[in-house]
A and B are shown apart, each in its own frame.
Chain A
């Protein structure tokens, strides 16, 4: 039974369809695993045991009646705590939302429920998705299952760690500057940031509206594609969602063929600052793709050098406005309301007590960048850089089908190493940020280990060509898995001793 947790979503899907196993059994196995290892990993902020089992029973009942179910019906999933789920605590990793139970569900959550996906609970994250390590969560750091003394990446460290710790075969993340891909890279899992507008943002607590994108996470490329297909598509409730058919991601993951494809290596996303182990795994992956029939060429995107700076003006600017609503008037934390204070004082005290240091830092940065007299120099200039980066991508994609780079410059770093050095922390996302600024699609998948820790390989595709990520990713994964005797996570520590079992 416990073997169930090591299966991929595709394998579970098949067993469930053949009724070799019930959704309840699969769900219970994962709940047991969570009970066993999550004390050590701390991937979850809330486990919805009853809700998950009830949903599993519904799927089993529907299957017994012969209803036509989607491929992921009965497969469990870990949901990043940034998505509103009706009646389920949603904190976004912040004290300011402590105790809030949303009166509505995000569109992605509704789609998951409709598909019969079993939601196990909410996963840990940096507060309001601001961070690259989960150390900014108000509810404690998540540990990397590969080395519990190290961070799992962020902001979606909880979702990534849940996959690597076999607490769930599927997870949902959100990616504003790399919050899906960087944790995927550091935990040896797969994560996709879809094209901006490819997945609805309705019900996803906003960090930076023009950059945020929800995406699928799993341990295999095919599982990621199966989840991608369930959550993607136009939504009337999100004005920025694209009204066009979702690219054929599952078909691409199954085809796994790069023959004749042109792959561009981004010159600016290599060299100084990239650890040698990271660069070596990257080069090996390129070699594999070449051997599979792809042509590899170097591509220059000169404006990527300004990506990080532009990002740290645009994202905090939008965040300073998005986070203004947390004011104690309608929901969440309320501090100082003893009858003697004005509404303004209560707002101020609540925000002082409810937001963590990094969130305050970004609110102040963003407020400053949008201020009269500074707007043009900061926000205005950053938007121009954004346009230039978009043009760099357009130019690159006129000669190659996809771009590739290491996902992160380093492997997972020890907890506490960068928590007092924000700029060093920000550099973790140097290779992932340009993707968000341009709204294109990208995947991170495991390329191997460096000193026993996972290294991520990033693939970038033009907007609404998300299928190319899966075509390339699945081809690379097939060859690497053959070499390793299974996907990378099969080499992950089993965590039994850590959990004290």
Chain B
């Protein structure tokens, strides 16, 4: 039921109010004088209804304006003044006809009705404001007290119509005898007590800022006085206009005036007592708002400069300083940011002086009096004292936030504390900016990784060579991070095929580029030199010019000669070559230093060449250390022997099947660990009797 009433829209409420007012107006035109009790009762019912309707309508408008209670108070003041003005004018205009209760002069009736409507409107507005202010920012619901007061307003007003000899219409004295008088008086006293009680609800004052409190102080005293005057004129014997129209309305109006007078007196004193603490409260609330604004900003803005500008400007406001700036300590150099209210040279001088002389604390907010130093150290004279707060992230000092005053007024604790708060914000903003930069860097590295991976794939041979005398297979599995594995085949002439497997040290884009270069070197040298040893010696000296001291390349380069049925190769620091023949498997490790480790004659002098005679079903296995260095959960390496075992046991399989077996075994072995290096595997199986008919 209640909900339904609330749902009634604004326009509906306005319609109701106007409708009742029009009824009242027509009634008043037809029956200008309350001649009998019945007339009076109907008259008062109309009055109450219209007051009720207007209060309901006006309340809707007042509620949203509660955030600015001062403007509501000013509006009530204006209406109070209007009431005062009308009372003065009308009592002067109608002074002669004041007693003519039976005056039916049409002008008088029209005028008095008009005034009554103005009064009803003002009453409705003023009453609604009082009601809303009374409820505003109350912790407990005061409605029970307020509603009781309203009930007593009505009861007293009704009794004023019929039971009070002072106000009642003269010709209704039949109703009155002195015995009924006490009821009115008792109700009146209770109402006044209730008004006092409700006037104490002034919690909203605490939430005004100092300026508003000062304004309220002035307005409340004026309003209090105005309400008293209105009350007393309404009650005076000379003013009959309202009384003639409706005694209840007059009573209601006078109660609202009493309420206003008492309420504003209470407001005046409360505001007066609140005034000394107003500034502190203002500052606290400003600090709170700034903190709120800043934390909102932190989530939206990631640009450090933009945030630090806001931080320094709010620091100035909240800490009552003249200038503020941020110093960031990076690689033993200080950088100044967002300087407000001071020249960069002065700010730099002061910051450097304080940091060099260890006058700042890395953990807490510190107030420094600069006047002690300025003569001796030629510091800028304009700054007298300053607060410094460290910008710390995870106990790691990144710099300082400074707030400085040009007056010698020392920083109190409540001035310096917020500087610490804002330094915290600056530290977080700094950290955010760093994280953002890092994530951009990470993205860039990932892109780089993609490029490196692409380079690697383009460098590796797209397909395996196809020969009758042997089967060859190759397999490459990249690690997440690009390694430098490389293998290739070069057709030297009709009967010879060059094979290279190499591993560039290091990872990433650098390894990928060295790899590209290594491909070029071997592609060229394999055609220029017949002996694998010569190819590696030349490769080593070419690499001297292009790779860094820290990098090296391990490689095996060999040549298959189909006519001679041999494989001649040399090894430069690379993993062993596994040679399976006659059901035996051997690790072939001819001496040889890795490419890029030494550029003296030592490389040439120590490098050995080896030649294998290839028989039917012989298997040559070339691989990179990605296979033998694969780790299992116990951090054990896969090693060479496991590869050898698989080859020995499955030597009858094709090279593809063998390759799959080895890789399966590696992945079972290192199940729970991630692959940390590229894996390359090249398998070659000799098939000499296929050649019996062939001609190659």
Partners in one complex: no
Q: Which residues of chain A have a CB within 8 Å of any CB of chain B?
A: none
Q: Which residues of chain B have a CB within 8 Å of any CB of chain A?
A: none
